[in-house]
Amino acid sequence: MTKQKQSFLERLTGSRSVDDSSESFPVYAEEETEMVMHTTNPMTTQHIMQEETWNQSVASDTEGQLTIDVYQTDNDIVIKSTIAGVKPEDLDISINNDMVTIKGERKNEEVIDHGNYYYQECYWGSFSRSVLLPVDVISDKTEASLKNGILTLRLPKADTTKIKKIQVRGF
């Protein structure tokens, strides 16, 4: 019997093909199947304990980070972020020189024992995001709106090409 080169799928999964005369689906070695079952089953006790430990350390040590879109129009820099479940009064937006900072907190109103979760992917707690602005903006004219869980900031661009003349007074 000659040794055939394994296909990419066979090398990736650790499977091997059965002779063409018999069934044509991959067969897994008994110990490999056992290992895969233990490491990929999302509901193992070890996995749940690791998730719980990770969630507790994240909740106590760090803030969540918002995902954002930043783009420009002819007159504005626009920042959009999905902030579902956050009330406008729980948001703090500040503009400092060339940076915008968005801070807030998403509060979970239900108390659920960690052992009862199958999946816990939503972030609950404090979050923040700072964005360096690509151009100068007029911070006094910035508008913020929250509609359908999407925060939109419109920052008017400062007209830096406009020349300002200054009168010199003599004494």
Residue 35: the pLDDT is 40
Give yes or no: residues 35 and 119 share one domain: no
User: What are φ and ψ of residue 113, in 5° steps?
Assistant: -65, 135
Position with higher pLDDT, 4 vs 100 = 100
Calpha distance 140→136 (Å, rounded): 12
Give yes or no: residues 95 and 113 share one domain: yes
Give yes or no: residues 98 and 147 share one domain: yes
167 in a domain, yes or no? no
Q: What percent of the chain is predicted at pLDDT more than 90?
A: 30
Give yes or no: residues 40 and 119 share one domain: no
Residue 71: the pLDDT is 96
Give yes or no: residues 36 and 116 share one domain: no
Domain count, the chain: 2
Instruction: Give me 85's structure tokens.
Output: 């479940």
Calpha distance 9→11 (Å, rounded): 5
In this predicted model, what pLDDT tens digit does every residue of 61-95 receive, in sequence order?
A: 577 888 999 999 999 999 999 998 888 988 999 99
pTM of the model: 0.57
Q: What is the domain range of residue 140?
A: 64-156
Give one DSSP letter per residue of the chain, joined into a string. -PPPPPPHHHHHHT-BPPPTTS--S-B--HHHHHHHHHHH-TT-HHHHHHHHHHHHHHHHH--EE--EEEEE-SSEEEEEEE-TT--GGGEEEEEETTEEEEEEEEPP-S---GGG-S---S--EEEEEEEE-SS-B-GGG-EEEEETTEEEEEEEBP-TTS----PPP--
Calpha distance 143→140 (Å, rounded): 9
48 in a domain, yes or no? yes
In this predicted model, what pLDDT tens digit does every residue of 28-60 receive, in sequence order?
A: 444 444 444 334 444 444 444 444 444 444 444
Domain boundary among 44, 59, 74: 59
Residue 123: the pLDDT is 82
Give yes or no: residues 77 and 118 share one domain: yes
Residue 1: the pLDDT is 53
Which residue do the tokens 């129009």 mark? 73
Give yes or no: residues 54 and 102 share one domain: no
Question: Could you tell me the CATH number of the domain that includes residue 128?
Answer: 2.60.40.790
Give yes or no: residues 28 and 96 share one domain: no
Give yes or no: residues 73 and 150 share one domain: yes
